[in-house]
Structure 1
Amino acid sequence: MSQHAKPAGILLLLAILLLSLNLRPAIAAIGPLVQSISQFAGVKSVGISLLTSIPVLMMGLGAIYAGRIRQALGEGGGIAIGGAVIAIACLMRLWTDNSYGLFTSAALVGLGIAVIQALLPGFIKRNFGASTSSVIALYSNSIVVGAAIGSGTASWLEDQFGWLSTLASWSLPAVAATVYWLLASRRSQYEGRSSVQVTARSAPFWRIGRCWSLLLFFGIGTGAFMLAMAWISPFYIGLGLAKGTAGLLLSVLTIVEALTALWLSLVIGRFPDRRGLLATSLLLVAASYVMLIVAPLQAPYIAVSLLGVSIGLLFPLSIIVAMDHLKDPTLAGNFTAFVQGGGFIIASLVPLTAGSLRDAFNDLSYIWLLMTIASLGMLVLAIRFSPASYQRFQQDLAEIQVGEPKPA
């Protein structure tokens, strides 16, 4: 935390972690509540998938326009606005007992998440310097912990208060995190609002092949995460397990995921070459989905734990590797937003595809197989992400920027 005195840095880190805890519960709580949503709101499998896919699509669009969001809102205020939108969207669900209301609140949840995710990586790099990789890993870990809490408490909260109140309850921690952020970030370094057009730091990333391979990599990794959140519980309910047990399996998955991401945050500095970890995570993703195909009931806790370890590695690594490619905080933030933008759009199609296949075949084995093939295919990309290639990427980007016309 090179930019802060220690107490201020810890308070700011806590604000980041509290905010990131709120980036997935509104989505993760959907899976354990599938039966109630289907029964009382009349939503089928594709519609259930849309409640996950719509927020992920919004995250992608928000990331694509991260530079403009930063320019219009500034980092500090923009992140606070994102938290407020999440709180409002969750509160709306108290009165949305139909598909249209649920889809609208899902879009607003996605918008709030999108703003925060577009601005936080650059903010972290600006404020934590050499500790950026560890803080990004903690930030990713906190996202996963939020998902674990959201999925793990959903069934119990539904039994106590009903499914609408369960979905709406996440407005309270979102409000608390937003207020604390406003207090803790007052003296931090952040880029403010600007009427000046985005300059050369909004580089033509799309002209470099590495950008697209990182984008695809992030999309597959996030798709595996979102697929698990949306469909692990319904999958096991369909196999005959009780709703509470199926929810517990999703909680185990996300807890293992969180612990793995926490471990990664502590050791990531020992792995300047990330390729070994990337390859391991992809092989574990493939192995876990194979288990879901061939033996889902023989060892369900082992299957979901294996999937938790794989996603706990892959999701934060896909962000860290993108951040590794550039040193300038704003440029790195814009680049990460580009990668996340396209990646989230790809990821939004994964649970939607799962819902379509489930409606067509009453079986999720086909999507497990597709994810297995995709994960193994990503190994071809992962072995190319060497530290030496970061320098080549920066040189390629510099050459393209030199050839770009100067802004008027």
Structure 2
Amino acid sequence: MENVRATTRPALWLIASIILVALNLRPSMAAVGPLLSAIRGDIPLSFSTASLLTMLPVMAMGLAMFLGMRVAQRFGEHRTIVLSLVIIGVATVSRLYLDSTLELILSAVLAGVGIALIQAVMPALIKSRFSDNVSLFMGLYVTSIMGGAAIAASFSPFVLAQTGSWRMGLAIWALLALLALGFWFAQRSAIPQLPAAPKGRQESFAGNSRAWLLAIFFGLGTASYTCVLAWLAPYYVEKGWSEQNAGLLLGFLTAMEVISGLVTPAIANRSQDKRLVLAVLLMLIMAGFCGLILSPERFSLLWPCLLGLGIGGLFPMSLIVSLDHLDNPRRAGGLTAFVQGIGYLIAGLSPLIAGMIRDQLGSFEWAWWSLTAVMAVMIVMVLRFNPKRYAQHIQ
């Protein structure tokens, strides 16, 4: 009966709305990179300061994640997402009127807060509405997030070319927030009211070692995503590639992420034990990094392909494993909010650390070696994710 219920027309509208909401969670960051040279021609912006446009929103996402479930408990899941879309839309459209570096950074941080509120609420909502197919619909949600990044990165330069304004290239994505807001508001009756968590004081996962393990695992995996997003194109530019071709290579990697984000959770949904899938994804990432280091020019499409398939699957699977630890959707949502909060704080530092490694040692290769070692550590961490013991770790 659950599968029948999940395929009704209201559910299909809800799925479409979730996809549209998810598409809004990366354009505010992804559109900046392709337009950076045009932005720097108008606003004094060093490359180190430009890195803050990615780092600070991710950090803001981490900090605001801890507030997301509390906001949802006070206003409800539906109103929280409406509020978040408004915040993202306002932050995005404000870029039409930016005249300073500080204003650009503040708009990025504000968008990060809106993004965090949605990412705190959405996993719990998906677990509640699609309880029999959590992996499948989490994969669809996360894939839509990555798709939003790909769309913004690809089309923002086109908007710049057509309008001659980088501000329009950044601000046009407010229309996407407006579209998502319309869909979300129109089918509010399909939004489930999440069951309450057990009575008592607000549950905190800060003292639970398993919650920290999940958070560190998510953070390290997301660190590989943020680092590749920031530095893959510059790495190949240093190898003699044109900026356009290096950007296309990054776009190809993002396309592989989208494919893996759809396929991997669907495969993993067949089994409660996700350890083998996680280990394979991490080995794909390790192979991709080793290829970038040892033979970047030969098989130049293969290494981004491996990285994209690994990273694209690892992102949703990290959240799915967290959701699997608890049956109550609101408690599971609280856990994933904690996991993402700590995780994004970790991931936000990775592009900066990689940039420092590049400045000190003269090559991005040492950053790739470091991430390869991190992936090896994560494989060891995967061994502890035995589903038969989940109840022992989080009561």
Aligned partner of 1:65 in structure 2 is 67
| Aligned equivalent of 1:356 | 356
* TM superposition shift of 1:300: 2.5
Instruction: State the 1:290 CA deviation.
Output: 2.0
- Is 1:320 the counterpart of 2:320? The answer is yes
Residue of 11, 20, 28 corresponding to 1:26: 28
Cα 1:220–1:200 shift into 2, 3 Å: farther
Aligned partners of 2:296, 2:97: CA distance in 1, in Å?
37
Partner residue, 2:192: 189
Closer, same or farther in 2 for the Cα pair 1:298/1:15, shift >3 Å?
same
Contact 1:68 1:198 in 2 (8 A): no
Give the match for residue 294 of structure 1: 294
Contact 1:30–1:230 (Cα < 8 Å) also in 2: no
Checking the alignment, whether the CA contact within 8 Å between 1:220 and 1:346 is kept in structure 2 is: yes
Gaps of 5+ in 1: 398-408
Q: After TM superposition, list the pairs within 5 Å mapping 1:103-122 onto structure 2.
A: 103-122=105-124
User: Would the alpha carbon gap of residues 290 and 32 (structure 1) be closer, same or farther in structure 2, given more than 3 Å must change?
Assistant: farther
Residues 265, 317 of structure 2: 8 Å contact kept: no
Partner Cα distance (2:371, 2:210) in 1: 22
Q: 1:112 deviation in Å? A: 0.9
| Cα gap change, 1:200 to 1:366, in 2 (>3 Å) | farther
1:127 CA displacement: 1.5
Work out the CA distance in 2 between the residues paired with 1:65 and 1:117.
11
Following the alignment from structure 1 to structure 2, what is the Cα–Cα distance between the partners of residues 299 and 200? Answer: 57
Give the distance between the partners of 1:66 and 1:323, measured in 2 at CA: 16
Q: After TM superposition, give the deviation of residue 26 of structure 1 in Å.
A: 1.6
Alpha-carbon offset, residue 255 of structure 1: 0.7
C-alpha deviation, 1:317, in angstroms: 0.5
The whole-number CA distance in structure 2 between the counterparts of 1:105 and 1:354 is 25
Q: Quick check: 1:201–1:331 contact (8 Å CA) kept in 2? A: no
Secondary structure in structure 2 of the residue aligned to 1:108: helix
1:265 deviates by 3.5
Q: State the SS of the aligned residue for 2:189.
A: coil
> How far has the Cα of 1:278 moved from its partner?
0.7
Q: 2:96 and 2:198 mapped to 1: Cα distance?
A: 40
Which residue of 158, 163, 182 corresponds with 1:156?
Answer: 158
**Taking structure 2 as the reference length, what is the TM-score of the superposition?**
0.93
Equivalent in the alignment of 1:176: 179
- Paired AA for residue 382 in structure 2: A
Q: 2:15 aligned with 1:13, yes or no?
A: yes
Q: Which moved more, 1:69-78 or 1:93-102?
A: 93-102
Cα–Cα, structure 1 residues 38 and 20, in superposed 2: closer, same or farther, change >3 Å?
A: same
Partner deviation per Cα, 1:32-87 (whole Å, 9 max, x = no partner): 23333344333233222211111111111122223322133321000111111111
CA distance in 2, matches of 1:191, 1:86: 24
Structure 2 gaps, min length 5: none
Specify which of 79, 94, 108 is matched with residue 81 of structure 2. 79
| CA shift for structure 1 position 386 | 1.1
CA distance in structure 2 between the partners assigned to 1:327 and 1:191 by the alignment: 12
CA contact (8 A) 2:64 2:113 kept: yes
Task: Give TM-score, length-normalised by structure 1.
Answer: 0.90
Farther off after superposition, 91-100 or 9-18: 91-100
> In 1, Cα distance between the equivalents of 2:228 and 2:187?
33
Cα deviation for residue 88 of structure 1 reads 1.1
Residues 4-403 of structure 1 correspond to what in structure 2 (within 5 A)? 4=6, 6-161=8-163, 162-191=165-194, 199-200=199-200, 202-361=202-361, 363-394=363-394, 397=395
Taking every aligned residue pair, what percent have the same amino acid on both sides? 36
- Against the structure 1 CA distance between its residues 248 and 232, is the aligned structure 2 distance closer, same or farther, given a 3 Å change threshold? same
CA spacing shift, 1:248–1:176, aligned 2, 3 Å? same
Which stretch of the first structure deviates more once superposed, 219-228 or 108-117? 219-228
Displacement of 1:178 in angstroms is 1.3
Whether the 8 Å CA contact 1:31–1:234 is kept in 2: the answer is no
Q: Please give the per-residue CA displacement for 1:230-260, whole angstroms capped at 9, x wherever unaligned.
A: 2222333333322221221111111111011
Per mean C-alpha deviation after superposition, the further-off stretch among 263-272 and 249-258 is 263-272
Root-mean-square deviation (CA), in Å?
Answer: 2.2
Deviation at 1:30, TM superposition (A): 2.4
Q: 1:174 to 1:314 in 2, by over 3 A?
A: same
Distance of 1:363 and 1:299 partners within structure 2: 20
> How far 1:132 moved relative to its partner?
1.9
- Larger CA deviation: 258-267 vs 235-244: 235-244
**Greater Cα offset, 65-74 or 118-127:** 65-74
Deviation at 1:4, TM superposition (A): 5.0
Give the aligned residue type for 1:186.
S
The alpha-carbon deviation at position 387 of structure 1 amounts to 1.1
